[in-house]
Chains A and B, each alone.
Chain A
Amino acid sequence: MTSANAEPLLLARNLRRVYQSRRGMFGAPSLVRAVDDVSFDILPGETLGIVGESGSGKSTMGRLALGLETPDRGSVRFRGSPMPMPSTAEWRTLRQRMQMIYQDPLGALDRRLPVLTQIREPLDIHHPREHHGNQVKAAEMLARVGLSREQGARYPHELSGGQRQRVVLARALMTGPDFLVCDEPVSALDVSIQAQVVNLLIDLQTELGLAMMFISHDLRVVRQISKRVAVMYLGGFVEEGDADDLFASPLHPYTKALVSAAPQARSTNRHERIVLTGEPPNPANRPTGCAFHPRCGAAMPRCKEEAPALVPVGRERRVACHLYPAATSDQTRAA
């Protein structure tokens, strides 16, 4: 959405990332378009949720947004300036402003250091002489994410999964970033612990005015945390819009199936499930036209030949589907 008044913090245009893969040692190389022609903005303090199934390119999107990978086409601008090349001095300075949180906190932490030392480390790197100040700030952050001083002295393996994810979060926030990319941060946690971490993330975000890109396959968690949501399928956005509105009345046939497939615990919320036929597509062997057409119940002959563009439908929604031509009429009611 470019209509907003505020200057976007992050501006991504026509991003494309292609990986080369090979079948076997001597196989012919095939090109996998992990992300293809994706554009989006993130405003300061705003959360953009990215949902999609495995292989849809959501993690690649996160790395592109952070500049951990360079797009093959398109550009990312942060605070109005282009993303510097990886491993340059400018790039390192920018790292303080943007951070990443992964699914597996144990893999992201050093097993041989107490967690408080690890939380302090980013400050030690950027302000090596302020040892005492760094220690105080790290202890404050430890308390802020809900860990005790005693837990700060422990090693990663002595903490539970939820506590480790709190440590990772504390460390990411030490340099005072404006932008956080969270890639499936709560997927490995039990439901009750997941709720703790989600609540903490929301509190910290409001308090610190963080902008976030929140990547997850879990629609519930994404809706809880995001203002806007983009649904990815095979490297592209198929639908984007306000989180509540999008889940309440999905337009794209894929989003509809995705929302209906989310199992409901309470019987009052139960509804007819749309079961998609076919397997998730192989990014290396992309269907022609609309990538979703082989599994789509509403596919028309046109879908096989022509890929639909992501066009505005209604006020706050963009959809990539031939069912919704770029019109301003009340077609949004079709859901």
Chain B
Amino acid sequence: MSDRESHFVALDELTVSFDGVRVLHGINLTVSRGEAVGLVGESGSGKSVTWLAALGLLPGKARIGGSATLEGVELIGAPPSTLDRVRGGRIAMISQDPASALNPVISIGKQIGETLALHRGLSGIAGRAETLRLLDLVGIPDAARRIHAYPHEFSGGQNQRVMIAMALAGQPDLLVADEPTTALDVTIQAQILDLIQTIRRELGMALVLISHDLGVIAETCDRVAVMYAGRIVEEGTTGALFDDPRHPYAQGLLGSLPPLSGPRRRLVSIPGVVPDPRLLPAGCAFAPRCPKRVSTCDSAIPTLGVSHPGHRVACFAEEAVVQEQARSHGYAA
């Protein structure tokens, strides 16, 4: 990435290992100001670890390599003082299970107030006014009364709204939402996705949405990266990727999704299971499950190459990619 400075956040060859087992194999991804980027993949593909590593939130035994920069400032190995200003202030994160992310014995008003005091120096009357404004913004009815309520007095969807209010308290430029609606019912999921979209439009905030749900990503993001076994295997604009996926894994994922209208067809399931990170195949990690496997797949690992403008695929079956990689003969290990 030569134009790294122009991106808000840039991940460059980011790797993570736990106990000598590599789980993330060099992630290159950028997020521009105000952009919504989706990360999709099945469990264990590394979508959450990517962002936990970038924000320094992994446990001490994790070995992190490569770089993650915020406006050109390196975050990997950065001192706690730098990270404390970034986390919550510049980049906020919300997780799947709001009930366990909130403190059950402190009222939600106090919890939001804490973030306001920490990142914006607001307390007392100003803090309370701002808390009320935030609760209003995320659609908690009767905020003035509910400000003293505890997390157990809210439903799952409302708790997620409180989490979003808390994330917004530091006025972040980027919200990383890790499966924000997975634990919620469909109609409540629609409400929360709607809320995230509205807020993003109003505040011009960038969004990284991590989800296993292709539909949720497709309806929310401008750009998508599909992850498999710790690597990005395809990346492109949402429309192009979901309407015409190029990587066999992305094709399989979309084929696995039962249609909601039109004729029923047998689901195109991907045979086999996701490989154990300790026992990855020598070549492409997807090769053992891949219908388009060629001999090269067993020995070399494909890197992301441009298949058409704005679209990158890591697959030897994509001709344009193969030609480009042959030119630069860069088979990164």
**Chain A residues engaging chain B, CB cutoff 8 angstroms:** 53-54, 160, 162-163, 190-196, 198-199, 202, 217, 219-221, 223-224, 244, 247-248, 257-270, 273-276, 279-280
Contacts and interface: CB of A to CB of B under 8 A. Distances in A.
B323 interface: no
A263 B194 contact: no
Given A217-B186, A258-B186, A280-B188, A270 B219 contact: yes
A231 to B, nearest CB: 12
Nearest to B244: A266
Closest 6 CB pairs of A and B: A263-B215, A195-B256, A195-B269, A224-B258, A53-B185, A190-B42
Query: In the complex, which range does the number of interface residues on chain B fall in?
Result: 35 or more
8 contacts: A192-B269, A224-B267, A263-B216, A265-B214, A267-B218, A267-B239, A270-B219, A280-B188
Interface of B: 42-43, 155, 157-158, 185-191, 193-194, 212-219, 238-239, 242-243, 252-261, 264, 266-271, 273-274
B267 A275 contact: no
A191 B264 contact: no
User: Which secondary structure characterizes the binding site on chain B?
Assistant: helix
A224 B226 CA distance: 25
Given A192-B256, A220-B259, A259-B260, A160 B273 contact: yes
A244 B260 CA distance: 8
A199 B269 contact: yes
Nearest to B219: A263
Nearest to A280: B185
Given A192-B269, A273-B194, A267 B242 contact: yes
Contacts of A260: 190
Given A54-B185, A191-B214, A257-B187, A162 B273 contact: yes
Given A195-B269, A266-B243, A279-B158, A220 B257 contact: yes
Contact of B268 (A162, A194, A195, A248): A195
Contact of A192 (B42, B217, B260, B261): B42
A259 B186 CA distance: 9
B261 A247 contact: yes
A7 B31 CA distance: 61
A276 B218 contact: no
B264 A275 contact: no
Given A258-B187, A280-B185, A191 B273 contact: no
B219 A193 contact: no
Nearest to A268: B243
A280 B155 contact: yes
Given A192-B42, A224-B258, A261 B155 contact: no
Nearest to B269: A195
Contacts of B217: 265
Nearest to B266: A199
A257 to B, nearest CB: 6
Contacts of A268: 243
Given A247-B260, A266-B242, A270-B219, A53 B267 contact: no
A273 B193 CA distance: 11
Given A191-B42, A192-B256, A195-B270, A265 B185 contact: no
A183 to B, nearest CB: 16
Contacts of A247: 260-261
Given A265-B242, A267-B243, A194 B189 contact: no
Contacts of B239: 267
B267 A263 contact: no
A262 B260 contact: yes
Contacts of B219: 263-264, 270, 273
A319 to B, nearest CB: 18
A260 B155 CA distance: 22
Contacts of A219: 186, 260
A224 B264 contact: yes
Nearest to A202: B266
